[in-house]
Chains A and B, each alone.
Chain A
Amino acid sequence: MAVLSRREFAALVAAAPFASAGRMPGAAPITAEEIVERIKKNIGVAWKSDSVDTVKAGNLSTIARGIVTTSMATMVVLQQALKVGANLVITGQPTFYGKTDLPTSSTTQDPVFAGKNEFITRNNLVVFRLSDHWRQRRPDPLARGIATALGWAKYQSAGDPLRFELPGLSLDTLVGHVKNGLRSRGGIRVVGDPRIRVQRVGLLPGTTSIQAALKMLPSVDVIVAGEVREWESVEYVRDKVFSGEKKGLILTGRVVSEEPGMDVCAEWLKTFVSEVPIWHISAGDPYWRPL
């Protein structure tokens, strides 16, 4: 299941400053640890040790040859990172399938945990998670990423980067635009009448609770969210729609909703890491659905 097409991946490799990465000419060697220290210094929020933002695999003393950011460091993303010559991967989601994010399964000798860990070790990759602190950064990099991906920067509210005032369009048309812009496949799901005219859009990237939807929906026509609990915001919007309000909810999935923010992350890293090349590689939409 290729996330990038062969042609897209070839273009990515061709566009790379150095096909096999490595240090920039004249640059001093830099370790993964030094890069992580620079991230902590530049993130703009106080670094908390009680966080998921830690190294998940590999050795921080490794000399970095290139950096890849991604919403989720899947095997396919790791393989592509290796192909471009990068050995430090900065991921938004867990690497080992859960909040504890350890390279071994708690109950079994699991071949997927083991296979991925072995691949990382054999190829001297380092995987660092950047999630809690990244989403606290201001202005909100997740909102900026989605705004750029959807071409909405000019519609963004000055006071709240999560809100947009679009030229009026149907919910159906909006869904098509979001699907194409975020390169969604089968993960996109919608609540609401496709024919309603909508204008005010609010973003809730990542995973959000009913409180977030209750707070946002009254002042927007549509919420574009990553994931919510179905017994919370989905049923809330369903009831809103039934009661006659012209509202909608577009769910893209958490991984897809956080991907554009990791593109922003790659650009941000370039502002304080010049020693090695930096790429963003999309994890893609995990889901498909039958026609």
Chain B
Amino acid sequence: MTAGEVVERIKRNLGVPWRDTTYRDTFKYGGPDTEVTGIATTVFCSFEVVQRASAAGCNMIIPHEDIYWNDRDEVAIVGDDPLYTSKAEFMRKNNIVVFRIHDHMHSQRPDFTYVGSARELGLDPKYETAPSSHRFIVPETTLGALAAEVRTRTGARALRIVGDPKATVSRIQLGVGYATPAVNHPDVDVVISGEQQETDGMLDSPEYVLDAVALGITKGWIMLGHAISEEAGMLDMAQWITRFVSEVPVRLVKAGEPFWAPK
């Protein structure tokens, strides 16, 4: 089957209308005519993921994020860098086709990025206040104990936390990727998410949480990193695709956490 047929089946099974105005969810390398030998989903289409997918016999890669280190995947920005040339050259030689699924993954119900992250974090659906509220009321714990558990479950080496580790918390708002929810919601003790700019945003969580603590108001902020935050849901994406693509194998190829942290 061709990459174009895979994309058509994705569109047909999505459950929400396809928006052709998306600049994200398009072919980033190759096109619809390529014959597909296998499909790899991943959060980041890193050079390593491309090579591992290819070695595993998957020449179609469906990443959640960009491939050329900028959201619009504008080649004009990166085209002069020899790394772009070698990544593109590898894909050409190995007949790779890359189709990104981002905007439509987030508008799909359920949004698998949340499903995957909640599962990985051990946020049981029985604790969610309503389906897709992404708010979980868990048995009381401390921010320190919660952070330690998050670290153990995700394996994140470069986890970052703001807040008092001794604070008692139970109301968790889950965010994914760069869609970090507002930590100042009165019904939220802790936000767990992927990435957010530190200052000059809509609500600068690090300073807000530091000040909340100074004013005696319980708040906590746990940043998993973008890759850790959205990787687990790409397994759900792979499993969903197997429901309507049986001709070729479909699997998750993990990008993994890019960071390490010193002691």
Contact = CB atoms under 8 A, between A and B. Distances in A.
Sorting the interface of chain B by its residue count into under 10, 10 to 19, 20 to 34 or 35 or more gives 35 or more
Given A190-B261, A234-B258, A289-B151, A75 B215 contact: yes
B195 A230 contact: yes
Interface in B22-62: 44, 46-48
Given A242-B47, A289-B159, A290-B159, A97 B204 contact: yes
A73 to B, nearest CB: 9
A87 interface: no
Contacts of A98: 200-204
B203 A97 contact: yes
Given A231-B66, A243-B47, A108 B186 contact: yes
Interface stretch (B11-19, B110-118, B206-214, B245-253): B206-214
A265 B135 CA distance: 43
Interface string A2-16: 000000000000000
A122 interface: no
B75 to A, nearest CB: 12
A211 interface: yes
A210 B70 contact: yes
Contacts of A75: 210-211, 214-215
A254 B198 contact: yes
Interface string A198-236: 000000000100110010001000000011011111111
A230 B197 CA distance: 10
Given A75-B210, A94-B199, A239 B46 contact: yes
Interface in A149-180: 172, 175-176, 179
Contact of A242 (B46, B147, B159): B46
B261 A286 contact: no
Sorting the interface of chain A by its residue count into under 10, 10 to 19, 20 to 34 or 35 or more gives 35 or more
A286 B210 contact: yes
B44 A231 contact: yes
Given A236-B83, A237-B258, A254-B198, 13 more contacts: A52-B200, A72-B207, A75-B215, A76-B214, A97-B204, A112-B184, A207-B200, A211-B77, A238-B47, A239-B69, A240-B83, A255-B199, A290-B159
Interface of B: 44, 46-48, 65-66, 69-71, 77-78, 80-81, 83, 86-87, 144, 147-148, 151, 158-162, 164-165, 178, 184, 186, 194-195, 197-215, 217, 219, 223, 225-227, 258-262
